[in-house]
C-alpha cells in the first residue's frame, strides 16, 4: 500500500465550492500516484474561515466558531473525496465543539462511507493561553483494511505515554501545524521516536502558511514525512520518504504491512515487546557525588 503525507498550504477561499475543489484536487492527485491513504495536517480545516471574510478570519473567536459551526460540512467534503477516489483520508483538523468547549478534531474517512473522529489530547501553550482550545475525547485505535491506525495530533506525538496507548497500531498518523522550523523538528523527532518505540510506520503531515489574514495559522512551516523503525526490512535512517521543508505537495512511500509484523517479531531489537521492562527500572535514580575538588 502507498501512504501519502501532505505539506499542505492554507489557501484563501471565497466560497465552499472553491474549498471543495481544492480538497478534491489534492486527493485526486495522491490517488493518481497510487496512494491508499492521504493525511492532511493539523488546523488545515481553519482555512475555511476565509469563506466568512477577512474580518472573521482575523478574529480568534469568530474564526473558531465558524469552523466549529461548519465541522460537518468540512467532514462531508472529505468523505466525498474518500469515496470518489477510493482512498482513506485523514482530514485536516479543525476546531469543533464538545460540551461547550472548543477541541481540535480530525476525521478518518473511509471509501465505504465509514468515518470516525479523533481529538487532540494535550494542548500547546498557544492553544491553552490564546486560543482556549481544550483536550477532547480519548485516543482510539481504528481497525481498517490497511491495518490498525491511530492519530496523535502534533504536540501529542511528543509524549511517549500517548504513543504507548497506541502501541497496537501499524500506522500512526501525525498531522501537524508548527509556526517555526524548530516546531516542525520537535514533532518530527516525536513521530520518529514513536515509530521506533512501537515498531510501526508514522505518517507526518505539515501545514504551510504565510498569510497574515488568518488568525492562528498565519505562519506555518514543515514538510511531509513517513518514518519507520531503523531495523529489519526498513531504511537504516528510519526515513521511508521525506519532503523538502516549505515545499507544497505529497510525500509518498510504499510499504507492505508484513514489514511491520516482521520487524516486531524478528527485529534486531524489540522495543515494543520490551517496553514493560522499563517498569522495574524506573525508580528514582540514586544520586552519587563525583569529582569533588579539594580546596
Within a domain: 29 = yes
**DSSP labels, 61-84:** HHHHHHHHHTHHHHHHHHHHHHHH
Q: Give mean pLDDT, residues 137-162.
A: 98
Task: Please compute the mean of the pLDDT values over residues 240-268 and round it to a whole number.
Answer: 97
What are the tens digits of pLDDT across the range 17-30? 999 999 999 999 99
Whole-angstrom distance, CA of residue 80 vs CA of residue 61: 29
Residue 17 in any domain: the answer is: yes
Q: Which residue has the cell 483538523?
A: 93
- Domain assignment present for residue 224? The answer is yes
Residue 293 lies in a domain: no
Contacts of 35 (CB under 8 A, 6+ apart): 2, 3, 4, 87, 250, 252
The pLDDT mean for the chain works out to 96
CATH code, domain carrying 50: 3.60.110.10
Handedness of CA 220, 77, 71, 204 (dihedral sign): negative
Is the Cα dihedral 24, 169, 243, 121 positive or negative?
positive
Give CA–CA dist 80/48, Å, rounded: 17
- For residue 75, the enclosing domain spans 2-281
For residue 13, name the pLDDT band (cuts at 50, 70, 90): very high
Which residues does 249 contact at the CB level (< 8 Å), separation at least 6?
6, 7, 224, 243
Phi and psi angles of residue 203, each rounded to the nearest 5 degrees, phi first? -115, 110
pLDDT band at 281 (very low <50, low <70, confident <90, very high): confident
Q: What is residue 282's predicted lDDT score, i.e. its pLDDT?
A: 83
Q: In this model, does residue 283 exceed pLDDT 90? A: no
Q: Does residue 158 lie in a domain region?
A: yes
152 assigned to some structural domain = yes
The band of 291, judged by pLDDT with boundaries at 50, 70 and 90, is confident
- Under the banding of pLDDT at 50, 70 and 90, the label for residue 192 is very high
How confident is the model at residue 285, as a pLDDT?
85
Report which of 4, 71, 25, 17 is spatially closest to residue 44, judged by C-alpha positions. 71
- Local confidence band at 295 (pLDDT 50, 70, 90 cut-offs): low
Q: What is the pLDDT of residue 284?
A: 85
Residue 91 is given by DSSP the state P
- The reply to whether 290 falls in a domain is no
Q: What does the block give as the cell for 135?
A: 483536550
On whether the CB atoms of residues 64 and 52 are closer than 8 A, the answer is: no
Distance CA 204, CA 136 (A): 21
pLDDT in tens, 96-136: 999 999 999 999 999 999 999 999 999 999 999 999 999 99
* 47 part of a folded domain: yes
| 203 beta partners | 173, 226
Q: E strand or H helix at 235, and its extent?
A: none
Average pLDDT, stretch 233-242?
A: 97
Backbone Cα Rg of the chain: 20
- At residue 294 the predicted structure's pLDDT band, cuts being 50, 70 and 90, is confident
> How many domains are there within the chain?
1
Q: Is the pLDDT of residue 77 over 80?
A: yes
- Mean per-residue pLDDT, 211-237: 97
Per-residue pLDDT at 138 exceeds 90: yes
* Residues 152, 150: Cα–Cα separation, whole Å: 7
Q: What is the pLDDT of residues 164-189, one digit of tens each?
A: 999 999 999 999 999 999 999 999 99
Strands 225-227 and 239-242: antiparallel
Amino acid at each position: 500500500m502507498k501512504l501519502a503525507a501532505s505539506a499542505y498550504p492554507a489557501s484563501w477561499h471565497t466560497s465552499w465550492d472553491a474549498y471543495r475543489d481544492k480538497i478534491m484536487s489534492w486527493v485526486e492527485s495522491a490517488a493518481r500516484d497510487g496512494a491508499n491513504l492521504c493525511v492532511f495536517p493539523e488546523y488545515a480545516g481553519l482555512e475555511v474561515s476565509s469563506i466568512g471574510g477577512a474580518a472573521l478570519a482575523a478574529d480568534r473567536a469568530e474564526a473558531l466558531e465558524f469552523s466549529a459551526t461548519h465541522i460537518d460540512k468540512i467532514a462531508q467534503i472529505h468523505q466525498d473525496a474518500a469515496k470518489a477516489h477510493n482512498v482513506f483520508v485523514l482530514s485536516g483538523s479543525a476546531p469543533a465543539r464538545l460540551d461547550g468547549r472548543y477541541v481540535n478534531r480530525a476525521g478518518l474517512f473511509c471509501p465505504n462511507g465509514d468515518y470516525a473522529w479523533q481529538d487532540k489530547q494535550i494542548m500547546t501553550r498557544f492553544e491553552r493561553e490564546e486560543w482556549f482550545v481544550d483536550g477532547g475525547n480519548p485516543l482510539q485505535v481504528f481497525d481498517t483494511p490497511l491495518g490498525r491506525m491511530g492519530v496523535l495530533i502534533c504536540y501529542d506525538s511528543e509524549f511517549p505515554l500517548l504513543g504507548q496507548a497506541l502501541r497496537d497500531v501499524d500506522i500512526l498518523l501525525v498531522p501537524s501545524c508548527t509556526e517555526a522550523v524548530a516546531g516542525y523538528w520537535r514533532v518530527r523527532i516525536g513521530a520518529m521516536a514513536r515509530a521506533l518505540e512501537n515498531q510501526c510506520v508514522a505518517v507526518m503531515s505539515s501545514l504551510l502558511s504565510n498569510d497574515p489574514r488568518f488568525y492562528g495559522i498565519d505562519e506555518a512551516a514543515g514538510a511531509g514525512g513517513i518514518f519507520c523503525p531503523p531495523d529489519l526490512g526498513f531504511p537504516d535512517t528510519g526515513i521511508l520518504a521525506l519532503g523538502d521543508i516549505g515545499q507544497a505537495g505529497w510525500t509518498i512511500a510504499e510499504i507492505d504491512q508484513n514489514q511491520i509484523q516482521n520487524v516486531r517479531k524478528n527485529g534486531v531489537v524489540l522495543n515494543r515487546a520490551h517496553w514493560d521492562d522499563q517498569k522495574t527500572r524506573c525508580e528514582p535514580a540514586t544520586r552519587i557525588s563525583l569529582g569533588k575538588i579539594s580546596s
